[in-house]
Structure 1
Amino acid sequence: MMFEKPVVMIDFETSGMSPDQGGRVTEVAALRIVGGEIVDRYVSLINSNVRIPYFITELTGITQAMVDKAPPASEVLPELVEFIGTDALAAHNASFDEKFLMAESDRLGLWPAHDGVICSVKLARRVFPGLSTYSLGPLAASMGIRFKGSAHRAEADAEVASALMLRIASELGQRYGYSSIDPRLLQDINKLAAVKVPAFLKKHRAAEIAADAAPVPSIKTKGVQRFRHYKGGIYELVCEATQESDFSPVIVYRSHDGSIWTRPRSVFFEMLQINGAEVMRFTPIKE
Structure 2
Amino acid sequence: MQTVAVLDFETTGLSPAQGDRATEIAVILLRDGQIVARYQSLMNAGRRIPSDVVNLTGITNEMIASAPSVSKVMREAALFVGKHPVVAHNAGFDRRFWQAELALLRMSADHSFACTMLASRRIYPHAQSHRLSSLAEMLRLPKSGRAHRAMVDAEMTSHLWHRLQDDIAQTYGLSLVDHALIARVQATSKAKVPTLLRSLNGGPRSDQAASHSKPRSCADEN
TM-score w.r.t. structure 1 length? 0.70
Aligned sequence identity (%): 37
Pick aligned residue for 1:246 from 202, 206, 209:
206
Partner of 2:159: 163
The alignment partner of 1:149 has SS state of coil
Q: If you compute each CA radius of gyration, which structure gives the higher value, 1 or 2?
A: 1
Partners of 2:6 and 2:94 in 1: how far apart? 10
Amino acid at match of 1:70: A
Query: Any conservation in 2 of the 1:136–1:161 contact (CA below 8 Å)?
Result: yes
Partners of 1:131 and 1:244 in 2: how far apart? 20
TM-score w.r.t. structure 2 length? 0.89
The alignment partner of 2:2 has SS state of strand
Partners of 1:36 and 1:11 in 2: how far apart? 18
Partners of 1:31 and 1:205 in 2: how far apart? 31
Query: For residues 153-195 of structure 1, what are the alpha-carbon distances to aligned partners after superposition, in whole Å with 9 as ceiling and x for unaligned?
Result: 0000000011011111111011011233221111111110011
Structure 1 residue runs without a partner (length 5+)? 207-242, 248-287
Partner of 2:210: none
Partner of 2:175: 179
Query: Any conservation in 1 of the 2:12–2:48 contact (CA below 8 Å)?
Result: yes
How many residue pairs match? The answer is 207
Query: Any conservation in 1 of the 2:142–2:159 contact (CA below 8 Å)?
Result: no
Partner of 1:233: none
Deviating more after overlay: 174-183 vs 97-106: 174-183
Partner of 2:22: 25
Closer/same/farther in 2, CA of residues 61 and 245 from structure 1, 3 Å limit? same
Structure 1 runs (4+) greater than 6 angstroms displaced: none
The alignment partner of 1:172 has SS state of helix
Within-5 A mapping of 1:24-63: 24-63=21-60
The alignment partner of 1:26 has SS state of strand
Partners of 1:182 and 1:58 in 2: how far apart? 37
Partners of 1:79 and 1:96 in 2: how far apart? 20
Partners of 1:194 and 1:82 in 2: how far apart? 36
Query: For residues 205-233 of structure 1, what are the alpha-carbon distances to aligned partners after superposition, in whole Å with 9 as ceiling and x for unaligned?
Result: 24xxxxxxxxxxxxxxxxxxxxxxxxxxx
Pick aligned residue for 2:120 from 112, 117, 124:
124
- TM superposition shift of 1:98: 0.4
Partners of 1:112 and 1:82 in 2: how far apart? 11
Structure having the higher helix fraction is 2
Partners of 2:186 and 2:54 in 1: how far apart? 32
